[in-house]
């Protein structure tokens, strides 16, 4: 689905992020599997990633990020009408992690559900949050992207272990007078589902016995390098914008080689590209909001900036959102 927004203006009015304290370096992983820092850096650009403590689950990371997002927006938890948690590693299949987050933070008037769209989950959830506000059903929505992939990676598989990390980001969405989301482009291709999947995680019986992430890296790489470009081009075309109009590019942080390839092919200069995969690895649903947090901190995300976010991942799914950044205009701190 894709479309240029013609309805009410809705924007991100608060942002918060959280990454677990524990840092796992490439050298740490080289003690567990046959790999090395040089291979990981040259093939992925990743130097280190964060890992949740044994007592931490996705809801804990989500709660920390959400608390900061609410404070940043100056919104009371009771004002939130809807909580969407994008994740492929919920605390458990049910109850929804979103319900746990809502209750923990006192969002007593909120509906709450989880959304599963792989690493594209956060972009999907933004579009859902936008729709709820634009339709008038909700006034304030909390969208969280969180994953604790360290719980589902195969700690003996060097080809996947080195890629992933744990992290969360949350945003508050509200109606604004101008700026905000300009459009969304979202897609899915279940035929590619077998390229990235988690056996033994649902109702489909399988001969697999381990509930650990499986990936055909080369297939996902091919998909990623194609879709990061086509999705960006589609959203720009839909919204009547050009590549040169983009001030900040926030791609899914899967692999720095994929990011560099997409930026180069699209013609987006390096200084506009947000990269934090080197320090966090691929945090799946947490990746784009964590990168947004980075861009706010380093001063690149300013009110008025045109921001392109593009995600891709399990499903296979993809999605882009174009937003004119407004944070700071609603009493939220910059
Ligand atoms: O959010 C979306 C999720 N996933 C992605 O976006 C991942 C997309 N794919 C990729 O980023 C890349 O395909 C990888 C980084 C996963 C792999 O890079 P590659 O350049 O495609 O490597 P490869 O799979 O072709 O493997 C090359 C060699 C193989 O050895 P042989 O068969 O050539 O002897 C692998 O066994 O590298 C070996 N290898 C490793 N060596 C050292 C695979 N993993 C490692 C490792 N350390 N960690």
Apex CA 296: angle with CA 293 and CA 300, to 5°?
Answer: 130
Ligand 1 atom closest to Cα of residue 158: 48
Per the structure, the complete domain to which residue 319 belongs is given by: 1-334
Closest CA to 80 of 91, 70, 71, 88: 70
Q: Which residues contact 50 (CB under 8 A, 6 or more apart)?
A: 19, 20, 21, 22, 23, 24, 165, 166, 167, 280, 283
43 CB within 6 A, ligand 1: yes
How remote is the CA of residue 153 from the centroid of ligand 1, in Å?
15
Ligand 1 atom closest to Cα of residue 255: 11
In whole numbers, what is the pLDDT of the chain averaged over residues? Answer: 96
26 CB within 6 A, ligand 1: no
Q: Whose CA is nearest to atom 36 of ligand 1?
A: 159
Residues 42 and 166: beta-carbon distance below 8 Å: no
Q: What is the pLDDT of residues 40-72, one digit of tens each?
A: 999 999 999 999 999 999 999 999 999 999 999
d(CA 48, CA 37): 10
Residue with the two structure tokens 């947490």: 286
End-to-end Cα, the chain, rounded Å: 32
182 phi and psi, to 5 degrees? -105, -25
253 CB within 6 A, ligand 1: no
Q: Whose CA is nearest to atom 45 of ligand 1?
A: 159
What are the residue ranges of helices labelled H in the chain?
26-30, 37-44, 58-73, 97-104, 121-134, 158-161, 217-239, 256-266, 277-280, 287-297
* Per-residue pLDDT at 328: 59
Q: Whose CA is nearest to atom 16 of ligand 1?
A: 217
Q: Whose CA is nearest to atom 13 of ligand 1?
A: 217
Residue with the two structure tokens 């008037």: 109
d(CA 68, CA 77): 11
pTM of the model: 0.96
CA 181 → CA 52, 91, 184, distances in Å? 32, 30, 8
35 CB within 6 A, ligand 1: yes
Domain count, the chain: 1
Ligand 1 atom closest to Cα of residue 287: 1
How remote is the CA of residue 293 from the centroid of ligand 1, in Å?
28
Q: Assign residue 160 the CATH number of its domain.
A: 3.40.47.10
Q: What is the pLDDT of residues 173-200, one digit of tens each?
A: 999 999 999 999 999 999 999 999 999 9
> Reduced to 3 states, what is the DSSP secondary structure of residue 73?
helix
* Per-residue pLDDT at 313: 98
85 phi and psi, to 5 degrees? -110, 115
Q: How confident is the model at residue 333 (pLDDT cuts 50, 70, 90)?
A: very low
Ligand 1 atom closest to Cα of residue 36: 47
Q: What is the pLDDT of residues 209-237, one digit of tens each?
A: 899 999 999 999 999 999 999 999 999 99
Closest CA to 125 of 194, 186, 81: 186
How remote is the CA of residue 123 from the centroid of ligand 1, in Å?
26
140 CB within 6 A, ligand 1: no
Q: Whose CA is nearest to atom 47 of ligand 1?
A: 35
Lookup: tokens for 287: 């990746």
218 CB within 6 A, ligand 1: yes
| Catalytic (active-site) positions | 119, 252, 282
């Amino acid at each position: 689905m894709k479309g240029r927004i013609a309805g009410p203006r809705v924007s991100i009015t608060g942002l918060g992020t959280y990454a677990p304290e524990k840092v796992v370096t490439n050298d740490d992983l080289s003690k567990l599997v046959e790999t090395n820092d040089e291979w990981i850096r040259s093939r992925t650009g990743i130097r280190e990633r964060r890992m949740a403590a044994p007592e931490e689950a996705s809801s804990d990371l989500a709660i920390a990020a959400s608390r900061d997002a609410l404070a940043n927006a100056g919104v009371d938890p009771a004002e939130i009408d809807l909580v969407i948690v994008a994740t492929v590693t919920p605390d458990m299949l049910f109850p929804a992690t979103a319900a746990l987050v809502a209750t923990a933070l006192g969002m007593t008037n909120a509906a709450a559900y989880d959304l599963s769209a792989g690493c594209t989950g956060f972009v999907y959830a933004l579009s859902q949050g936008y729709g709820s506000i634009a339709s008038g059903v909700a006034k304030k929505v909390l969208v969280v992207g969180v994953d604790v992939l360290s719980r589902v990676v195969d700690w003996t598989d060097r080809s996947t272990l080195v890629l992933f990390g744990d992290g969360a980001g949350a945003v508050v969405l509200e109606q604004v007078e101008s700026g905000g989301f300009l459009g969304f482009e979202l897609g899915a291709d279940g035929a590619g589902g077998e390229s990235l999947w988690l056996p033994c995680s649902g109702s489909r019986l399988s001969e697999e016995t381990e509930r650990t992430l499986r990936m055909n890296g080369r297939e996902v790489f091919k998909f990623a390098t194609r879709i990061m470009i086509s999705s960006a081009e589609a959203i720009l075309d839909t919204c009547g914008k050009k590549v040169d109009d983009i001030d900040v590019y926030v791609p899914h942080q899967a692999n720095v080689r994929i990011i560099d390839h997409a930026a180069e092919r699209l013609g987006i200069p390096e200084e506009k590209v947000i990269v934090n995969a080197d320090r966090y690895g691929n945090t799946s649903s947490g990746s784009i909001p964590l990168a947004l947090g980075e861009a706010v901190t380093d001063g690149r995300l300013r009110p008025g900036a045109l921001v392109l976010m593009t995600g891709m991942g399990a499903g296979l799914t993809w999605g882009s959102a174009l937003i004119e950044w407004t944070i700071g205009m609603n009493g939220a701190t910059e």
